[in-house]
Amino acid sequence: MVLSRPVASLVLASAIAFSAIAAPSQLPALGASPRQTSVSGLSAGAFMAVQLQVAYSRSIVGAGVIAGGPYYCAANNEFFTGICMGQVAFFTPSAALMANFAKDFAHARSIDSLAHLARRRVYVFSGTGDTIVRQPAVDTTVSFFRQVGVRERNLEYVNTVPAGHALITPGFGNECSANAAPYISHCVVGSTGYDQAGAMLGHIYGALKPRAVAPTGHLVSFDQRAYAAAETGMADTAYLYVPHRCTAAGSRCKVHVALHGCLQAVESIGDRFVAETGYNAWADSNDILVLYPQVNRSNVPFNPQGCWDWWGYTGGNYAKKSSLQMQAIVAMVNRLTQRP
């Protein structure tokens, strides 16, 4: 049976509303725009956001990097992670070295051409009180993006907020200076609560409509295992925020991939990252689907804090287009761009 477009949209909307309270279902095809995908993340999620932006620069239009180091910083060696987080005194990552790795990978066609980065928009944030990923490491991330071609007008670096290690909201979470779970904090800049989700999305996509006061969309769960085998270290279930208008045929909504940090998946902090970080309110009024992939804590592969792979626990290709985790995320985005 073939449904007419109005009826199909109604059925899809009903299915989405139901899936928010039912067992994980299939990720829906929603006809999203394939040319308006962006990514952001905190900490390990920020390292992964950098990897996705660099490796898939042809299709990812912008990135938000909160407390993340430069591309391929650990060079497939877990022992380098402390350097990449700025934890080793008098020794910071080398932007030039990482840029050379990226150039070599692009030349080998293991990642997209770096030429695409000239058109990409990148937001980077480092709190002055972050003791987990310290500012010198994040400074290197900014230098790396400059060296691989991101234009100065497209690169925003916020590094004067007295924040700890956290994604920042106007009013939810820990005190601004905290470096503690759930790694979501509220800060005031000037006399206004700093809305990081809005700042990131606005930098990537341009002027936004005001955030929704009462979002009318739906947060749904879906079977992530259909895209990510167990060896990826990714969880069985992931989440998607669907603005109401994105259920309509021909809506062509944007897609934003929001990547949690270590110890920040739903299994560790419940729905706080997917529901309280502000992404959904901005997405609701600006027709943006927000994809929340998940990585759980595991022993096989060894990942006791549930971090995204930015040092090689899933294999040596973790920062290339052949990365198991990045391929899974891209496959989910591609599903969202398929026609209902």
Give the 3-state secondary structure of residue 309.
Answer: coil
Instruction: Tell me if 219 sits within 8 A of 20, measured CB to CB.
Output: yes
Element (H, E) at 49: helix 44-55
Residue 82 to residue 73: CA distance in whole angstroms = 10
Decide if 165 is catalytic. Answer: yes
Decide if 43 is catalytic. Answer: yes
Residue 57 tokens, joined: 């620069």
What number of other Cβ atoms are within 10 A of residue 101's Cβ?
Answer: 20
Catalytic, out of 116, 165, 256, 260: 165
- Eight-class DSSP state of 66: E
Element (H, E) at 121: strand 121-125
β-partners of residue 295 are 234
Catalytic, out of 57, 126, 130, 221: 130
Decide if 203 is catalytic. Answer: no
Instruction: Tell me if 279 sits within 8 A of 241, measured CB to CB.
Output: yes
DSSP for 8-27, written as a single string: HHHHHHHHHHHHTTSS-BPP
Residue 202 to residue 54: CA distance in whole angstroms = 20
Contacts with 5 (C-beta within 8 Å, 6 or more apart), sequence order: 249, 250
β-partners of residue 40 are 64, 258
Catalytic, out of 38, 43, 251, 323: 43
**Burial of residue 187 (number of CB atoms within 10 Å: 0-12, 13-18, 19+):** buried
Q: Among candidates 144, 118, 139, which has minimal Cα distance to 128?
A: 139
Catalytic residue ranges = 43, 130, 165
